[in-house]
Each structure stands twice: as structure tokens, then as C-alpha cells.
């Protein structure tokens, strides 16, 4: 969709998170009414996928994992179809190396479930395809997880987004204790919030709380890290980032310094340490986006060189089977 420079600036700022206020659209380059119209038009034009809360799933009691699936070409679509039906699966991609002919898993997905349901849920998913090898790759450290696409410059934006404090996917020491009403609030805020000058009003009506009480809870969650931000989430392809890939490296020694260096790169939207596996011996993972395959590979080579990493592999996302946001506490409905 066509956007003016000031509209691009506004949408870039909005992705960093709106103020948790009754009227959150008063601090942008455009007047409040124009901000609301811009969001509505961007959603109608397919640029915005969702407008709502982005939560730290671990602090809500969820466990998440990246999985690679060693599947043949013949079974690829059938296995992907089964995986995508699982409510906890948010992303599912076919990925292939841009260079070389290595025999790496073709199918990759991320899954999240409540901690107490996770092992049984994964066993049930594996049981549907007992002949297929699933690679379990939980995050050992998280270095960066926030995503802002800079619509002004065509690169991922790091201003206003700090690298994520390293933590493992199994770190539940700070799990929030939520009331039934607060779980309902998580579900509502984590869904689609209407584009109005007072976007929290609809949530207030549904949860049966006052505006001040809702805002107070959301501010507390933000301070505790339970809620990362409330923002529009863009379709990266519609935003001009038509190519994306998962980069992996095998680090000699401590992964931490390399992860922190990688997280500081504006080209990188996600960065993790994951366990090395015999069939996939990499431990540093990063996601990058670009406008073309060639540009993506150039970014991969540049960040590899700048960060002192060798022998990495770029797995290009050739097909998107599923991309959605996590739906929390759906069984509470």
C-alpha cells in the first residue's frame, strides 16, 4: 500500500508499543484521528496482521520450542498439514539452504503450550507421524526477540527495542499468578484490539472491570515483563521484507558474547542459543529479513563476518504454511 513519509514514520513508531493510556494515540507525528484511520487502512490493505498485546509466554506459564522435522519431499505437505492444525503451533515453514546441498530438516515449526500440558502434547503430535524424526530445539538463551520493521529505511529497526535478557525456555521462576479475570484479560489483549481512539474500552466492557483497573494491571504486567508491548504486528512480506531466513552457526566456546553481538545487529529480529544435535550441530540461531534472496544472503555474509562467525548456514524460508499469534488460555472460554 502507498504510504507517505509521515505515515511510515508513524507505523514504525507504533510497532514499538503504544502507551498504556485511555487515549494512546496522542503522541505520534499524525493527529489522533489520522493515526486511527491509518491503522484501519493498513489493516484493510493487508499490512497489519494483528493489533494487540505481545506477551512473554514463559511468564504466563507456557513452554515453547522450535522443532525441525526431517521429512521427505513426498510427505512434506501432509506432515505440515497435521502440524498446522495444532492450536499451539504459531509458525510453520519449509526452509532450504541457499547454498550447498546439505541434508537438513525441510520443515520447521514453533509450538507453545501450558507447561503442564507440553510433554503430553508433543508426544501426541509425534504419535501422528511415528516414522518422522522431530528435532527438539528449546532456547537455552534468548538474546533478542522483539521485531520492529522500519518502514522508513527498509531495514529492521532496533531503536526502542532492547536485546532480550538471556533466559531459557524452561525458566519459569517468574511465572505470573493470574486470577480467572486476569486470564480473560490476557486472552482479550492478546487478540485483536479495535482501532479506535480509545482502544481499551471494548476490553473493559468484556472483562467487566473499570478502565483504570485494566490500565493498572497492564502497566504492572509491562513493568514485570509479562507484557512486552501492545502494538500493530505487520505482515513482513506486505511491508517489503519478502525474503526471510534462519541463520545458524556452530560457536567455539561461550555462545553468550556472540549472541549479544548478534542481537545488536539491526538486521537480526530474533537471536537464540539452542542445543547442538548430532544431526544439526549448530547452537547460535538468528532470523533475518530482506527484500530479496540475494539481499538476504548478503546480509547473512555481512553479519557472519562482522561477528567473527564462520561455517554458518542460511536456511531460506521457501514456503509459509502457518504464521499466527499465540492464543492464550483458549480453554478458559
Name the pLDDT band for 79 (thresholds 50, 70, 90).
very high
Dump pLDDT digits (tens) for 44-56.
999 999 999 999 9
302-312 average pLDDT score:
94
15-22 average pLDDT score:
96
Is the pLDDT score of 170 beyond 60?
no
Long-range Cβ pairs for the range 155-162 (8 Å, 24+): 155/266, 155/267, 156/241, 156/266, 156/267, 156/268, 156/269, 156/288, 156/289, 157/12, 157/15, 157/16, 157/266, 158/264, 158/265, 158/266, 159/16, 160/13, 160/16, 160/17, 161/16
- Residue 100: the pLDDT is 66
pLDDT above 70: percentage of residues in the chain: 92
Name the pLDDT band for 153 (thresholds 50, 70, 90).
low
- Residue 150: the pLDDT is 86
Dump pLDDT digits (tens) for 248-275.
999 988 999 999 999 999 889 999 999 9
Amino acid at each position: 500500500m502507498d504510504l507517505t513519509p509521515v505515515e511510515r514514520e508513524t507505523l514504525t513508531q507504533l510497532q514499538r508499543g503504544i502507551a498504556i493510556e485511555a487515549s494512546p494515540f496522542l503522541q505520534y507525528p499524525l493527529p489522533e484521528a489520522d493515526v486511527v484511520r491509518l491503522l484501519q487502512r493498513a489493516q484493510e490493505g493487508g499490512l497489519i496482521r494483528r493489533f494487540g498485546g505481545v506477551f512473554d509466554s514463559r511468564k504466563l506459564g507456557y513452554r515453547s520450542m522450535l522443532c525441525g522435522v526431517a521429512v521427505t519431499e513426498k510427505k512434506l505437505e501432509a506432515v505440515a498439514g497435521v502440524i498446522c492444525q495444532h492450536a499451539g503451533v504459531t509458525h510453520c515453514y519449509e526452509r532450504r539452504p541457499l547454498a550447498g546441498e546439505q541434508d537438513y530438516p525441510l520443515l520447521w515449526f514453533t509450538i507453545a503450550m501450558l507447561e503442564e500440558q507440553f510433554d503430553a502434547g508433543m508426544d501426541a503430535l509425534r504419535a501422528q507421524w511415528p516414522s518422522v524424526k522431530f528435532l527438539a530445539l528449546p532456547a537455552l538463551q534468548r538474546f533478542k526477540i522483539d521485531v520492529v520493521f522500519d518502514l522508513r529505511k527498509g531495514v529492521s529497526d532496533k531503536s526502542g527495542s532492547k536485546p532480550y535478557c538471556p533466559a531459557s525456555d524452561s525458566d519459569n521462576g517468574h511465572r505470573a499468578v493470574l486470577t480467572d479475570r486476569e486470564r480473560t484479560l490476557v486472552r482479550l489483549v492478546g487478540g485483536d484490539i479495535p482501532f479506535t481512539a480509545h482502544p481499551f474500552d471494548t476490553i473493559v466492557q468484556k472483562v467487566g472491570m473499570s478502565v483504570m483497573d485494566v490500565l493498572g494491571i497492564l502497566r504492572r504486567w509491562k513493568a514485570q515483563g509479562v507484557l512486552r508491548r501492545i502494538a500493530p504486528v505487520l505482515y513482513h512480506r506486505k511491508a517489503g521484507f519478502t525474503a526471510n531466513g534462519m541463520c545458524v552457526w556452530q560457536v567455539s566456546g561461550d555462545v553468550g558474547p556472540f549472541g549479544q553481538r548478534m542481537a545488536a545487529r539491526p538486521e537480526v529480529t530474533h537471536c537464540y542459543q539452542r542445543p547442538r544435535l548430532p544431526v544439526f550441530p549448530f547452537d547460535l540461531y538468528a532470523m533475518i529479513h530482506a527484500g530479496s534472496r540475494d539481499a538476504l544472503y548478503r546480509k547473512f555474509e555481512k553479519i557472519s563476518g562482522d561477528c567473527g562467525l564462520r561455517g554458518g548456514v542460511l536456511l531460506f524460508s521457501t514456503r509459509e504454511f502457518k504464521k499466527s499469534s499465540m492464543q492464550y488460555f483458549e480453554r478458559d472460554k
